Chains A and B, each alone.
Chain A
């Protein structure tokens, strides 16, 4: 078995330590720091990218919140305008109604007044005409002349009975 040939041990050991130390120096001085550097750079890049993404997300959320708030404000103010409009219209209608009623009342009163006036005047005229007619009729029919004043009293008595 060549592995047990003691004569080959020393050269193998010498070259093993030589090559192993060289490999160790190459790895620890040159290659490993470089790989570590690249990995760290990538880690940093990923971390910063994630941070950026987080920031953008927060910003987007803020914008969304502002948007929602503004929408709500617009809703509230539009409701207010509608409410105000309704209130104004109903108050307008009310005042117009009131005006109309007042005018109606006034016109009714005026009409009633003029009707009363005409009625009074007519009554007076009817009394006078009746008095004259009664005086003339009595004179013609029973040839007796009554005093105008008496006749008036009698007629008023009769009218009063009718009215009552």
Chain B
């Protein structure tokens, strides 16, 4: 047996790295024919709402002119997203600021809370990220159609192209537009899943190797730091791309 296969078997002994993504029902519930069971995923979604509300509202509970630390967090987050919306979608994007802020906070807290050992990452499920991406995609498309009516479809015609190339380019533009929710959701989901799987694998090595586990432990700690950055970065990327799609719908320019 090679050294590498010992690694694999010891890692498997600590449980499958995919086990952490399993969804199990805590309280089975049905609404008519629809299964609306309260699962571990639901629990962590509620926790995301609770923790983010707590962090942000504690900051502004007794807001002073000179902010304290907790107040600074909520103000920094606010200004960060406000600037993001203004820079990427101009002043017209302002009405959608609360939605983008909520989206950012939801994803950020899901990602970060998911890094707590033995927790569950809401955004590590493709259906969740895809649903969020679809809300953005459909919302942005409706905004564009309402604002520009039939002119909205000029979004798929790049400016100054030769007439002969137009059909091909229009098809390419259309596909790249329709593929947006998929790329948006897969990016977030894949990042979350890969990071957590990797952490779990190395975590399994630490347990299995005993004294020698110090090596994978160091890697795990380093990976954890990296994952923390990825967690924040992916929330930021999701929000920025939402702003950019919104900008396309609002202004139609390429």
Q: Does A160 contact B (CB under 8 A)?
A: no
**B210 CB to nearest A CB, Å:** 30
**B67 CB to nearest A CB, Å:** 8
Number of chain B residues close to chain A: CB under 8 A: 49
CA gap between A11 and B98 in the complex, in Å: 26
Is the Cβ of A35 less than 8 Å from the Cβ of B41? no
- Return chain B residues, CB-CB under 8 Å to A26: 49, 53
Is the Cβ of B49 less than 8 Å from the Cβ of A11? no
Number of chain A residues close to chain B: CB under 8 A: 37
Is the Cβ of B39 less than 8 Å from the Cβ of A3? no
- Return chain A residues, CB-CB under 8 Å to B22: 2
Q: Does B191 contact A (CB under 8 A)?
A: no
- Return chain A residues, CB-CB under 8 Å to B79: 39
**A40 CB to nearest B CB, Å:** 11
- State the total of A-B contacts with C-beta under 8 angstroms: 125
Q: Does B223 contact A (CB under 8 A)?
A: no
CA gap between A20 and B105 in the complex, in Å: 10
Given known pairs A2-B23, A19-B46, the reply for A32 and B39 (CB within 8 Å) is no
Q: Does B177 contact A (CB under 8 A)?
A: no
Q: Does A5 contact B (CB under 8 A)?
A: yes
**B223 CB to nearest A CB, Å:** 21
Q: Does A1 contact B (CB under 8 A)?
A: yes
Question: Which of chain B's residues has its CB closest to A6's CB?
Answer: B127
Task: Pick from A4, A28, A38: contact of B60, CB below 8 A.
Answer: A38
> A-side binding surface: helix, strand, loop or mixed?
helix
Is the Cβ of B45 less than 8 Å from the Cβ of A19? yes
Q: Mark B24-65, 1 if CB is under 8 A from A, else 0.
A: 010000010011111101100110110011001101100101
Is the Cβ of B189 less than 8 Å from the Cβ of A3? yes
- Return chain B residues, CB-CB under 8 Å to A14: 31, 34, 36
Is the Cβ of A23 less than 8 Å from the Cβ of B53? yes
User: Within A20-43, which residues are at the interface with B (CB < 8 Å)?
Assistant: 20, 22-24, 26-28, 30-32, 34-39, 41-42
Is the Cβ of A35 less than 8 Å from the Cβ of B75? yes
**A148 CB to nearest B CB, Å:** 136
> Nearest 5 pairs between A and B by C-beta?
A28-B98, A15-B42, A19-B45, A2-B21, A38-B63
Q: List 27 A-B contacts (CB under 8 A).
A: A2-B18, A2-B21, A3-B21, A3-B193, A8-B23, A8-B39, A8-B127, A9-B127, A11-B41, A12-B23, A12-B41, A13-B128, A13-B131, A15-B41, A17-B131, A19-B106, A23-B52, A24-B99, A27-B56, A27-B101, A31-B57, A31-B60, A31-B74, A34-B57, A34-B63, A35-B59, A41-B65
Footprint of A on B, CB under 8 Å?
18, 21-23, 25, 31, 34-39, 41-42, 45-46, 48-49, 52-53, 56-57, 59-60, 63, 65, 67, 71, 74-75, 78-79, 97-99, 101-102, 105-106, 122, 124-128, 131-132, 189, 193
